[in-house]
Structure 1
Amino acid sequence: MSLFGLFGSKDPSEKKEKKQLPWENLTSLEQLDEISKISETQPVAIFKHSTRCGISRMVLNQFEASYDIDPAEMRLFFLDLLSYRQVSDEVAIRFQILHQSPQLIVVKNGVAVHQASHHNIQTAELKQFTEI
């Protein structure tokens, strides 16, 4: 038995495979019109992430690890709010949401129907927005 097994940890050379989510990068103001249109037939989730914040990175990793909604049921948009500050500001204005980071916003029929930030971002809550 190796020392890794003895102490209950895995061999660090065995990398855990990271789940790939169907993120679409939100980089322009025009995409907000597209998001509103898409949300008429399919809920849209916008994840606002700060690349300089360790908490934001941790929340994003937890979100990605636990996300299990079929891409046909919800579209995912990723917003690097430091690189696209104007887009981030417009998200807050258009969807009448106080800016926070990290933040998850769910849009249905052009309206924000859910928002959560920091450790309140839970993928389990998203299923309710995929039901008709």
Structure 2
Amino acid sequence: MNYWQGCALCVGGLLGLVSTAARCDSVIRESVMRDPFQPLSEMSCNSGQDQQKWQLKGMVGSSSRWIAWLVQPQIGWLRVRDGDVIPPGDWQITQLDRGGATLRQTGGKVSCGVAEIRLGPPFHHNKE
């Protein structure tokens, strides 16, 4: 390989490296950026993190002693009782009865304008 072929090969490699870096930069800009110094619970409401996808899948109990099963895509299944704090600690079960469950933000916080979530009962039968 002569001197000019080596230079052409080197320039071609540099151009390939620059175009790859430009593509990576556009991919990074298209992704959702967040402040790394803020907890995940304080991310903006438009970030795609939907914290209100809780589903009440089952309940067992009577009077004031109920146990419920909640599910959320990011966390999975949880067995909870009245007063339990749901990991990572942003929501607490404040009411659990035959009518469903109430989840409230801990510490008086309000996330995306929502301080409380009411989940209806999982019972699908008619009471006659």
> Given the two structures, how large is their TM-score scaled by the length of structure 2?
0.26
Larger radius of gyration: 2
Instruction: Give 1 or 2: higher helix fraction.
Output: 1
Pick 1 or 2: higher relative contact order, CA cutoff 8 A, min separation 6.
1
Instruction: Give 1 or 2: higher strand fraction.
Output: 2
> Given the two structures, how large is their TM-score scaled by the length of structure 1?
0.25
